[in-house]
Structure 1
């Protein structure tokens, strides 16, 4: 069985999914320490005139806590901002009306834990992609048999082309003349629907 250890991201990028394309099981580690400037609380979507970064505010400044102890700050009313951005970006996409209802209840749930929030969204994404990959939450890797460790490799501070996971395979997007690569999985799902999985398979770099 091919196992890959990955970071849990907020509505992950196409690179993230390309990196686990051959995995039969992905390993998530809730006790890893929170890292600032990561994809744990941010994602990117394509609006009419720009790429927008959506960030989830968290409680506390620079918390040195395990990921599963990071709490979402709801005082900033961010869910309505993110939902409005997603609807503005993809409301006219071919598969928006079919897929958006899966995500809406998660945003409306007022989930306290960012780990739980991201995990619920990831489960939905894998379901819509029709990927049978097993997701395992691991407290300690000491007793896990052979696995490939890809944690802390996919980070916003470094462009995807510096890594060996993702090669952009253009698909029709709603805005712009040029293809915008490596956005949130939402972009691909809403634009391509059932074909999203095939696009990801052709976007994964071959070793």
Structure 2
């Protein structure tokens, strides 16, 4: 697989990255409609006593709104809440001090567009993973036949085990004895750093 079409999720889950691990080009679609109950504005981190969902508040809930027109709601102090939660959950993680500043800078930019915010975060994630995949903004109608289209497949309402992308490979997490699979990419990056690439590649479900 060299080209894959994806939804532009917010700090995507490990299943997302397992699905694109072999991609040379990643196509993203600014004119796709924003769906409710999706990963476009939510991710998961692990705290001492629970798995926490971080959500980016958005303005309005208009149906069929293109994702690049969705605006972030800054009437809530959500950035500070997210950053505190991340620092609380991963304060003792081995690679927090190396990677956190990249994400903090994007959070503090106060980008008003959810699309551009997510794009900045995905770009830095790919850079930290050292993945050379090219991100391409696609605004056409007909997707080329050689592109694997996995849009609308990785959704919170269905378990990752129902799909053919991700087979969890355990790694050292901070809390508890039980491994929590398929958290957001921050958990993996902060806990294992440069080993993230290998773990994600090992997590690809054999087809």
Mark yes or no: TM-score above 0.5.
yes
Instruction: Report how many aligned residue pairs link the two structures.
Output: 207
Structure 1 unpaired stretches of 5+: none
User: Is residue 2:87 matched to residue 1:90?
Assistant: no
Q: Which residue of 1 aligns with 2:127?
A: 127
Offset at 1:68?
Answer: 0.3
Task: Please say if residues 36 and 62 of structure 1, whose CA atoms lie closer than 8 Å, have aligned partners that are also in contact.
Answer: no
TM (normalized to structure 2)?
0.97
State the Cα RMSD in Å: 1.1
Q: Which residue of 2 aligns with 1:24?
A: 24
With over 3 angstroms needed to count, the CA separation of the structure-2 counterparts of 1:143 and 1:94, relative to structure 1, is closer
Per-residue Cα deviation, 1:82-128 (whole angstroms, up to 9, x for no partner): 11111011111000000001111110111010000000000000000
The 3-state SS of whatever aligns with 1:26 is strand
Runs of 4+ deviating beyond 3 Å: none
Q: d(CA) in 2 for partners of 1:156 and 1:72? A: 21
Q: d(CA) in 1 for partners of 2:113 and 2:145? A: 29
Q: Which residue of 2 aligns with 1:81?
A: 81
Q: Which residue of 2 aligns with 1:198?
A: 198
Offset at 1:64?
Answer: 2.7
User: Is residue 2:24 matched to residue 1:35?
Assistant: no
Give the alignment of 1:1-207 within 5 angstroms: 2-142=2-142, 144-207=144-207
TM (normalized to structure 1)?
0.97
Q: d(CA) in 1 for partners of 2:143 and 2:99? A: 38
Offset at 1:141?
Answer: 4.1
